[in-house]
Structure 1
């Protein structure tokens, strides 16, 4: 019974995805709207800098600040002798 439900759910998901793809109209992306004023495109270097290097740099900066500003004692505490 569980296999039948999984098959039904998979079929439904695939059918829904297929219908959404068929109903979307990528040809309308070529038609300009009123007031549409696109700028110049980005070069490869600008794209890599914006979407790859900048997020990595922000992650490194934030991680570094967290490590530097962390005031907790990282040394393990000695066990009390009984």
Structure 2
């Protein structure tokens, strides 16, 4: 899932080397924390949050097809 997020986000930003995805796994959920360069934040969020919403939709859909995961998936975008 981490690779999927990086594959989608890196072409969108001006500083692809600054893209980092950290994973926090708990008992009932897995949280992916996406951090990008400060100047790329607007590109990742998009107008009215459309890019961020589309990214979350893809990640959640990929997680739902993986039947071995019984945990809730969260995607946070951090500066």
Q: Taking structure 2 as the reference length, what is the TM-score of the superposition?
A: 0.26
Which structure has the larger Rg? Answer: 1
Length-normalised TM-score, structure 1: 0.25
Higher helix share: 1
Give the number of the structure with larger relative contact order, counting CA–CA contacts within 8 Å between residues 6 or more apart.
2
